[in-house]
Structure 1
Amino acid sequence: MKESINQLLLIFFAGMFLFAGCATQDVVKKEEPIVPVAISAKPDEGASKSKTFDKPTVATTAVNSPNVKVVDQKSQPTKETSIADLQKSLENIYFDFDASTLSDTARQALSRNFDLLMKNPRAAIRIEGNCDERGSSEYNLALGERRAQAAVSYLTTMGIPSGRLSIISYGKEKPADPGHNEAALAKNRRDEFVVIK
């Protein structure tokens, strides 16, 4: 008796498996491109005035409306910025005194630079680390290099290939502001981004 129940269960599950396999073949359809369509919540003209609708009305004219923009991102190539425009758009980042860690403001500027670099995949950038006038030349060259490397690490972590980025440290040799007050010194503690290709 137990054997016949096991055989019946085996036949039952085999039939279910076979049936499920057949059903899957009927459900599979040929892949078709998905076309965005605007849906209207208005009922059909002949429908009753109740608040439930059997099916939405497809508003085919809404797709051509000036207020609705349908964009196929795959078919539109990304427009690269000219080198001059890219250079103007890249933002410098600034550091605290004797520091190479990125502040929140610096990270936000790097994120915007990242977006620009992603839109311009052929551009190569040199990151120039700079310091204020305090400290020895040797110390400031090392500090400027750490500052530039911090920006490279951030951008490569976000997805910019390291081959597109190079660094150089000018230490205190290229001040942005020749003044000696704190405002001038703060402008000199920076990374600059230069488009080289």
Structure 2
Amino acid sequence: MSKMSSNRKDLSPKQREELLSILKNRFEKNDQRHKGFQWAQVQAKLEANPQKLWSLNEMENTGGEPDVVGYDKKTGEYIFYDCSAESPKDRRSLCYDREALDARKENKPKDNAVDVATAMGVELLTEEQYRELQTFGAFDTKTSSWIKTPEAIRKLGGAIFCDRRYNTVFTYHNGAESYYAARGFRGVLKV
């Protein structure tokens, strides 16, 4: 993808400082997503995990606007989702996975959602995570997002995506090789 960094998976001190400032501002403006959490604790986790910080930078650079939405008590990790109002703009027009991309004979998209997520160090949201995101606001009211597809559906050639219309979250299906200018994917990262 054009906006993704090179193979280097670390940030310069200036990039780290800029990203932490962006994340802190977003954290403070959206406290309904993480009531009771303290930024200093989140920042300490981020600074101790430079590769995860690199992944958050990839999420940010592709239009995802990542923010803390939870805490996994079992692993002691903060959970970040892409919280952009619409599906991240620089992650659209992608088919679902490599198998789907390879199956297209013509008019191939530039890439696929699963490989791009992997390269960024994130995973696609599951349907459950997508629905949880929607409890924090109205997301994907004009776009849609691929979500992690159950293996049984994928084996049959399909993939699933979600969006929000009529103040309701819908889950749909498509052939995994399909792609649309208004469909991207949202990522999840644990730090």
Q: TM-score normalized by structure 2?
A: 0.24
> Whose RCO is larger (CA < 8 A, sep 6+)?
2
Larger gyration radius, structure 1 or structure 2: 1
- Bigger share in strand: 2
Give the alignment's TM-score, normalised by structure 1: 0.24
